[in-house]
Amino acid sequence: MSAIFRPPTNKSLTRSAHLFQKQSKRSINTAATYPRRTLPVSPFRPAHSATPLLTPLRNVSTSWRPQSSVTKMTVITAFDVSIDLSLRGLRSLKAMLTKAYARPASATSAKSHQDLAFQVQCCVNLAVGGLGLLTRTQQEAPVWGGETTLAEMIARVDKAIELLANGAKPEDLTGIEDKSLEVTYGNGQIATWGGREYVLGYSIPNFMFHLCMAYSNLQSRGVDVGKMDYLMPFMAGMAPGP
């Protein structure tokens, strides 16, 4: 049996007409619905910090504004990553040795000093030897006189610092990355390095290894040296101000 079509009555049309009418916009008070709340702590500091926030943080303030002034990064030179880096490393070494010297209660056995003296000797020889290689000058590392005491090690590091501070200028290393350098290893073997490869592949990692070993040796013997004792001489003159 076929379905019978019945046309809609006026009453049914009236009931459905409102569905197609344009609805008026309702006004929503977003300020009352979503009030601005001040965060009790900064997401960038510990929750237990007692330092008050300089300005209240708002959970709806997400706009980004560029800095008013931008510091342009200067070009990093071969001098920066070789002579200057070694000089800062030697100053770091001296600072840690001086701290150990000022605390005689730390372990001071001759056996423990033998390994420390070796690390200090390696740092000095790598820094001064690198100065001679990179500047093409005959910079002979001071003959290691069998220093065993902290005072003697500090004096040796002082001599190396003086040599590096006065032995080269940035312009002396211009073009060194394209030159060949003949490097003599500790076991007497000789190898030829490119200037860039020598600085990045041998000089820096080798020097930093022995500097960190000296730090570890001092710390293992009870000397109160920490990360900032190691780091501050590197940051001197470079860290941004308050």
pLDDT tens digits, one per residue of 44-64? 444 444 544 444 444 444 444
Domains and CATH numbers, the chain: 95-235 (1.20.120.450)
* Model pLDDT for residues 14-48, shown as the tens digit of each residue: 555 555 555 555 555 555 554 554 444 444 444 44
Cα end-to-end span (Å), the chain:
91
Q: Name the pairing type of β-strands 190-194 and 180-184.
A: antiparallel
Residue 2 has what pLDDT? 54
Strand partners, 181: 193
Q: Going by C-beta distance under 8 Å and a sequence separation of 6 or more, which residues neighbour residue 229?
A: 92, 95, 96, 99
Burial class (CB in 10 A: 0-12, 13-18, 19+), 219: middle
Output 103 or 173, whichever has higher pLDDT: 173
pLDDT digits 0-9 by tens, 96-124: 999 998 876 555 554 556 789 999 999 99
More confident residue, 94 or 46: 94
Q: Give residue 185's pLDDT band: very low, low, confident or very high (50, 70, 90).
A: confident
Task: Provide CB contacts within 8 A for 163, sequence distance 6+.
Answer: 128, 131, 139
More reliable by pLDDT, 66 or 225: 225
Which position has the token pair 């003296």? 117
DSSP 58: B
